[in-house]
Copies of this chain bind each other. A is one copy, B any other.
């Protein structure tokens, strides 16, 4: 059985990505991070999702990025914006996907896995540079020069099955695969029980997704 390391934040995109990797027959190793984010609710969600989609193992790596970051997601003195803005928003965490993919690459090498899965999306997204296809391609190229496994001929593949899908497509696909979106946490400022604010950028993208997909919005809201 081919192994894959799947980045799992606990949001709807990574949940759908894990469901897809599982359906494709990979033995999945779910990888999550406690990097200084505002709440643990998304990690609780990740644990439930890993179990639901038969991850062989799930690991939460602790990493104190808050000290070197200036994002609204890790710095509670910066308010989460509740209006759309021009350009890359303050919720951007510097080089986050690069750091996460690097650790995934390390774990993949230890496991003998050649496939990494990440639920990045470049359609209905927040404009983060590290979600774009050209970035993913460059990471893959670097990864294939970085490790002992790659040097010995095992090609690393960064799988991004959602990259060209709309949020509505993702919701449709996830629903078909049995993802219970009520479990997933997208909100940037969810409460301890994982209930969403309904107002931040992540909540807005998610709401519009449910509407376009014509799937009832199962999100648990605070209000």
* Interfacial residues, chain A to chain B (CB-CB below 8 A): 59, 61-65, 67-70, 88, 92-99, 101-103, 105-107, 109-110, 128-130, 132, 134-135, 138-139, 141-143, 145-148, 150-151
- When chains A and B are docked, how far (Å) is the Cα of A64 from the Cα of B94? 20
Q: How far is the CA of A102 from the CA of B70 in the complex (A)?
A: 16
Q: B59, B68, B105, B145: which contacts A138 (Cβ < 8 A)? A: B145
A109 contact set on B, CB distance < 8 A: 94-95
Query: Helix, strand, loop or mixed for chain A's interface?
Result: helix
6 contacts between A and B (CB under 8 A): A62-B64, A68-B103, A68-B110, A95-B147, A98-B143, A129-B151
A98 to B98, CA, bound (A): 9
List B contacts of A93 (CB < 8 A).
106
Name 5 extra pairs, CB < 8 A, besides A69-B106, A134-B145: A59-B68, A61-B65, A99-B102, A132-B145, A135-B145
Once the chains are docked, how many angstroms separate the CA of A92 from the CA of B107?
13
- Contact B92–A99 (Cβ < 8 Å): no
Which residues does chain B contribute within 8 Å of A145, judged by CB atoms?
129-130, 132, 134-135, 138
The closest CB in chain B to the CB of A103 belongs to B99
Closest to A62 in B: B64
Give the residue name and chain of the B residue nearest to A35 (CB): B63
Query: Which of B62, B105, B129, B138 is within 8 Å of A147, CB to CB?
Result: B129
